[in-house]
Homo-oligomer: A and B are copies of this chain.
Amino acid sequence: MNINEIRNAARRNAGHVRRTPLLTSPFLDEIAGRQVFVKPECLQHTGSFKYRGAHNAISQLSAQQRELGVIAYSSGNHAQGIALAARQNQTPATIVMPSDAPQLKIDNTRALGAKVVLYNRMTEDRDQIGADLSRQHRLTLIKPFDNKDVIAGQGTVGLEIANQARDAGIRNAQVLVPCGGGGLTAGIAIALEHDAPDMTVRPVEPADFDDVTRSLHAEKIEINEKRSGSICDAILTPAPGDLTFPVMTRLCGAGIVVTDKDCLRAMALAFTRLKLVIEPGGAVALAAALFQPLEIKGDAVIVVVSGGNVDAPLFADALNRFA
């Protein structure tokens, strides 16, 4: 993985992917005790950064691959990104999703034209289901994070951050990134290594699903014991990826772990102060910036908000409790 793959992804994605802005609020700065810059990928097409990697991967398929179709497994954001990019590239998409994914994510994936296959997150293995369907129907498997075209696409977030931070006069900052398998985190880290070398990426995870934080600390891949039990559905992956972990080891600072409750509080503050709808897993980095200021160094922090696909009752609950 290198910077050229990310720059090529940016060229392929130009005119398709949305360049999200960099937002601020004096109210958030005051809570955090430093300047907070928010990169809202909830405003990306399909409501998360995942469309970036999906479009970069699918736009490179051969004519034959496109005709046969693609398959992906996903808790819902990669699903929607793949579904939209597949539709735009006239290729059929099959998506394997957990039956307990947010209803909005399942509905949207179907509405974008994909065939959805549900599985039980507690008893079945999505990698196995994906591999079997891929082989049976000669579908191209596009993994959610351990795929270099996907990582390169997600890394375009980092290119934009480097540019936008420079325009805002920020050179030196920690960049907090919601982290599941590490595709977004690794991609951003590679981009910033080249375009903003004074910045450090910090992966952020939910409590009990801190595999990346523990793996970085132990310098070897560690696995989560739990498979479910957090509201942060988007980033409950069992372990960092074989491609992403070496990149994170080389480039990232220590991980930060936040509670589900702090995610809800961050969602409520994003409602009030940024006018953004953020999903729990997309809010972990903002929660860390706001509620764990001692974990962070520097006068400014850059926060990636990775997605906004949250069901209305959960969002209303966050508002009722914390807005």
Residues of A within 8 A of B (CB): 18-21, 23-24, 26-27, 40, 42-43, 45, 47, 84, 104, 108, 111-112, 268, 271-272, 274-278, 308, 312-313, 315-316, 319-320, 323
A275 to B277, alpha carbons, bound, how many Å? Answer: 5
Q: In the complex, which of the residues B23, B45, B112, B312 contacts A268, with contact meaning CB atoms closer than 8 Å?
A: B312
Query: Which residues in B have their C-beta under 8 angstroms from that of A320?
Result: 312, 316
Residues of B within 8 A of A278 (CB): 275
A277 proximity list for chain B (CB < 8 A):
271, 275-277
**For the complex, what is the distance from the CA of A112 to the CA of B25, rounded to whole Å?**
11
B276 touches A275 (CB 8 A): yes
Known: A20-B21, A27-B108, A275-B308. 4 other contacts (CB 8 A): A21-B21, A40-B275, A42-B275, A275-B278
- Chain B residue numbers with a CB within 8 Å of A313 are 319
What residues of B have a CB within 8 angstroms of the CB of A26 in the complex? 84, 112
Contact (A43, B23) CB under 8 Å given A275-B277, A277-B275, A323-B312? yes
Task: List 4 A-B pairs, minimum CB-CB distance, nearest first.
Answer: A275-B308, A312-B323, A275-B277, A312-B319
Partner of A47 from the list B21, B42, B111, B275 (CB cut-off 8 Å) is B275
